[in-house]
Structure 1
């Protein structure tokens, strides 16, 4: 083969490689058309947080409660406690989002279930920023309130207090909590097959929760796959194990009102659960 031809082909290849590298450098150096879109930059003038919520707070607090699912006083208390956890430091680079805006956006998303892509115009917050904000705020609320609002009793006195409320409010004696599962829609992980596909026809995680007579959470377990039944999740849970080995601190069995035979304390659930000493489902129609 002619040496000159080989050299020519070699030069063409080098030239093509240099052109590719130059194009990559130009793409890296190319400036954005805009750093912040104008309609996002006018958030303070036209955004829901700085305009609508201020108006509702001052003129129609009932509508504020309907929009935020809580009165202004509760919103203020939540902001005062969780706000420091979601406050970012001011820098010369850009102004951080206000903690009140983060909290209001998160509460509205949780209350309405609206998609980030539809919320971005009203709140004037980019759709790819919103999931970061929602996660940050939810974690801040958990960290601030977890030990205060969701404390599972460990002594007979604590369970007695819950049982007394069930008897007074619902006429259910010896009841230490109501147990049920809730399917939460999710995107199934790769290669998980039908593991997350539930009987309702969508993919989900399952929240198993125990509440007291006033619907307040006592205990919760999140992470059950949608294909699992409530009974399966309960059988694999920590609270079922503790209830059966006695480490929950349940009171000793004693008689029901106007009776003399000792009866254990228990949880109540729907007919998805099997009858056990620690849990009582409703009687079937055939009973």
Structure 2
């Protein structure tokens, strides 16, 4: 039986970052975080509790995955009116990132540079930009370099 196990020591997370670098050319990434609305029929007497911003009733699935899309953490079943970020900021894992007790490796330079850069998770624009969370540039007023980064 497989069990979801998040790496929690710098050496394991450094290895995860190496895999992201080699496979996706995205350096210092240790995991990816994303939420997905799963459509459901409106439960009786639930009002708007499960109604999401996309215009349908749902439950949310929030997942942290590795470089090969294997689940490391999952939260399933939160009511659809919640947000990805709202779920993420309520779990203890996020607090470990905030107070730097998760075990992220010490910042080090990216290839070809000498400025130390932190290791981080990647997420979409639902999440706040933090030293431990990288996200894409917003779609409006992007430069060519911003488009390349998002790609």
Does the alignment reach a TM-score above 0.5? yes
Q: Out of 130, 134, 143, which is 1:276 matched to?
A: 130
Residue aligned with 2:73, SS:
strand
In 1, distance between residues paired with 2:55 and 2:70? 29
Alignment-derived partner of residue 99 in structure 2? 245
Higher helix content, 1 or 2 = 1
In 2, distance between residues paired with 1:191 and 1:249? 44
Shift of 1:240: 1.3
In 2, distance between residues paired with 1:163 and 1:247? 18
Shift of 1:189: 4.5
Shift of 1:202: 2.2
Q: Out of 50, 56, 67, which is 1:202 matched to?
A: 56
In 2, distance between residues paired with 1:154 and 1:188? 39
Residue 179 (1) aligns with residue 36 (2): no
Q: Out of 15, 19, 35, which is 1:161 matched to?
A: 15
In 1, distance between residues paired with 2:96 and 2:78? 19
Q: Normalising by structure 2, what TM-score?
A: 0.84
Higher RCO (CA-CA < 8 Å; seq separation 6+):
2
RMSD: 1.6
Alignment-derived partner of residue 37 in structure 1? none
Alignment-derived partner of residue 145 in structure 1? 2
In 2, distance between residues paired with 1:179 and 1:258? 27
Higher strand content, 1 or 2 = 2
In 2, distance between residues paired with 1:219 and 1:261? 31
Residue 261 (1) aligns with residue 118 (2): no
In 1, distance between residues paired with 2:41 and 2:2? 28
Shift of 1:167: 0.2
Residue aligned with 1:242, SS:
helix
Shift of 1:236: 1.6
Q: Which runs of 5+ in 2 are unaligned?
A: 143-151
Shift of 1:271: 1.6
Greater Cα shift, 274-283 or 190-199: 190-199
Summarize deviations over 1:191-246 as a string: whole Å, max 9, x none: 43201111233221111001111111111112322112222222222221111112
Matched residue count: 141
